[in-house]
Amino acid sequence: MAKEKLFMDACKKKFKEDPTDTHTKFYCYGGWKQSARKREFVEAANKIAKQRGIPMMNQDIGVPLGQRSWMPYQLSHTDIFVEPDDLHCVNNAAMQQCWDDIRRTVLVGLDSPHQTIERRLGKEVTPETINHYLETVNHTMPGGAVVQEHMAEINPALAYDSYVKVFSGNDELIDEIDDCYVIDINKLFPAAQAEQLKKAIGNTIMQAVRVPTIVGRLMDGGTVSRHSAMQISMAFISAYKLAAGEAAIADFAYSAKHQSINMGTMMPARRARGPNEPGGIPFGVLADCAQSDRVYPDDPGRAALEAVALGAVVFDQIYLGGYMSGGVGFTQYSTAAYTDNILEDYTYFAIDHIKDKYGGLCQLDPNNFDKLIQLGYEVNSYALEMYERYPAAMEAHFGGSQRATVAAAASGIAGSMATGVADCGVNLWYLSMLQQKERTGRLGFYGYDLQDQCGSANSLAYRSDEGLPMELRGPNYPNYAMNVGHLSGYTGIPKAAHVARGDAFTVNPLIRVAFADPALVFDFANVTKEFGRGGLREFKPAGERTAIIME
C-alpha cells in the first residue's frame, strides 16, 4: 500500500474538499471575516483610528481579502496550526527572539586574556579565579557596575536573558568550573558528537556571551561585541584586581572586540548594513545554530528541515523581507518551506529513495555526476508530481516561487545526503530549477529565475569570484543577495550533508556548542515548534520593556 503523504493532514484542514479534487468554490466565504485574526485586526485598527484621528488599516482598501477559503498553516512536524498573519515576523515573538538570540551571542576566548594575566601581569589564573571571574562577568554583562561607586546600571528585569557561560574540549578543566557557568558538551550532545566537538575545540576555553536582547534591539548587531567587550574588561578589572588605566586592560578590550566571533560576518558597504547582521551569516553557521540533530540524532531529515525553517525566518523573512526589502515582507512566500509538511514529504521521500536506490546516505560517489543528476531528477520529479496529483498541495503553495524553492530544496537535500557533499546538494538545487522550468513552463519571479538559471555554472566552481563551498556561502554571496525564498533551502543543504556524514557540526564547533545552551530563550532544537508557539502567542520573549512602563 502506498504511504500516506505527510501533507495530507494539513491539506484536509485547509480545505473541505478532498486533496485530490481539482475544483472548489470561491467568492463565497465572507471575505476577511472568515479569519479570526483579520477580525481582530479590523477591530484594533478601527479603535486606533478613532483614538488618533488618523485612518489606519482598512480592509475595504485594495484587493478584497479572503476570496478563497482562508487557509490555516501547520507548522511542520508539529500539531500546531496558525493563521498566516501569525507567521509574520513582526507578529511572532518567537521569530524575533530567534534572531535576537543569534545576534546577541558573541563568542570570546579566555585563552588570550589568561595569558596576558599570567605572563604579562604575573598573576595566577586558577579554577577559583575563573569561577570568580565568571561570577563577576555575570554581574557586569546584564549591566552591573563594578568600578565606579556612583554608576547607573541596567534594570535587571530588562536584561534577565543576559549571562556568560563557558565550554571547552578539556573535560578536566570544565570539571573545575561551577556547573551553572558551563555549557556541558557531554550532557547536551550524544556521545559520538560530543567526542568530535571536544576534539575540534581542544583545550580552548570559550565564553558564550549573551548580551541583553534589548541592547541588540536599541543599537544594532555591531553593538553586541562592544557591549560584551566593555563588560568583560570591567569584570577582569574587578575579578583580578587590576588597574583600570593600565595598558593590559586595552588588550582585554581589544581582544574581546576584535578577536571574538560574531555570528554575522561583515558585509560590503553597498548593502548598507553594519557588522553582525543577518546578511553576514554564512549558511553553515546558521546550520550550526540549528540543533535538531543534537536532540534527534537518528533523524537527519528533521535536522535538515529545521535548518530550512531557521533559514526561512532569519534570512528570507527578517533579512531579505525586512532589512533589504522592507514593507510587509515575504511571509507568505517563506512559510512554504516550513509549513504543512510538504517539504517534509519530499525530503523523507528523498531519504527513502537514497536508501533504496543509492546504497544509503553518503554512498553515492560525488564524482559520479551522471548518477548524481539522475537522483536529482528523480526527487525533483516526485516533488512536482505531488503538486500535480494533489491540487490542495498546489494551492497551498499558490506561488510558483514557493513550489520552486520547495522542490529545489528537496533535490538539494537529497544531493547532500546521498554524497555527504554540500556542493553536490546545491548543484541539484539548480538542476531542479532548470527541470521545473522545462516541465511546467514556469518557475518563480524575474530575479529568482535569473539567478537560478545561471546557478549550475557556479555550483561547483571554486574560483573566488564565481564560487565558494556551500557551507561558506550566505545571503551576501553575490548571486544570493536578492534571493528571497532560496535562503531557507540553502541553509538546509549544508546541514543535510553534514548530518548525513554523522558530523557533529557543519562549519564551526564553537557555534554549534553555544546554541546547545538550554538557557537560551529560543529553543534551537525545536525551531518550527517555537515559531508555532509564537504564532499561538504562547512564547515569552526577552527584551520586553514592561518593567520600566507604568501601568
Which positions are annotated as active-site residues? Answer: 148, 333, 447, 483
Cα 288 from Cα 524, distance rounded (Å): 10
Cα four-point dihedral sign 543, 161, 114, 507? negative
Query: CA end-to-end span of the chain, whole Å?
Result: 61
CB of 336 vs other proteins, minimal distance in Å:
11
Cell 468554490 belongs to: 25
Rank residues 70 and 240 by Cβ distance to other proteins and give the closer one: 70
Contacts of 145 (CB under 8 A, 6+ apart): 151, 152, 153, 234
Rank residues 39 and 442 by Cβ distance to other proteins and give the closer one: 442
CB of 305 vs other proteins, minimal distance in Å:
23
CA 122 vs CA 116, 119, 125, 240: distances in Å: 8, 5, 10, 11
Tell which positions 324-383 bind other proteins, by CB under 8 A: 369-370, 373, 377, 381
**Binding residue (CB under 8 A) for other proteins from 16, 21, 55, 363:** 21
Q: C-alpha cell of 104? A: 546577541
With CB under 8 A as the rule, give the number of residues binding other proteins. Answer: 59
Rank residues 396 and 513 by Cβ distance to other proteins and give the closer one: 396
**Binding residue (CB under 8 A) for other proteins from 1, 2, 4, 22:** 22
Question: Does 457 interact with other proteins (rule: CB under 8 A)?
Answer: yes
Helix-helix angle 400-419:342-357, to 10 degrees: 30
Tell which positions 28-67 bind other proteins, by CB under 8 A: 63-64, 67
Q: Which amino acid is at 285?
A: V
**Binding residue (CB under 8 A) for other proteins from 1, 2, 4, 23:** 23
Instruction: Give CA angle at 277 (275, 282), nearest 5°.
Output: 100
**Binding residue (CB under 8 A) for other proteins from 388, 537, 540, 548:** 388
**Binding residue (CB under 8 A) for other proteins from 12, 16, 25, 199:** 25
Tell which positions 389-448 bind other proteins, by CB under 8 A: 389, 391-392, 394-395, 397-401, 403-404, 427, 430-431, 434-435, 437-446
Rank residues 431 and 527 by Cβ distance to other proteins and give the closer one: 431
Cα 363 from Cα 506, distance rounded (Å): 19
CA 528 vs CA 73, 95, 125, 283, 546: distances in Å: 12, 10, 43, 18, 27
User: Site map for other proteins, 465-484, x if CB under 8 A?
Assistant: -xx-----------------
Q: Are 120 and 248 in contact (CB under 8 A)?
A: yes
Edge-first strand order for the sheet with 261-262 is 163-168, 205-210, 105-109, 261-262
> What residues make contact with other proteins under the rule CB under 8 A?
17, 21-27, 63-64, 67-68, 369-370, 373, 377, 381, 384-385, 387-389, 391-392, 394-395, 397-401, 403-404, 427, 430-431, 434-435, 437-446, 449, 454, 456-462, 466-467
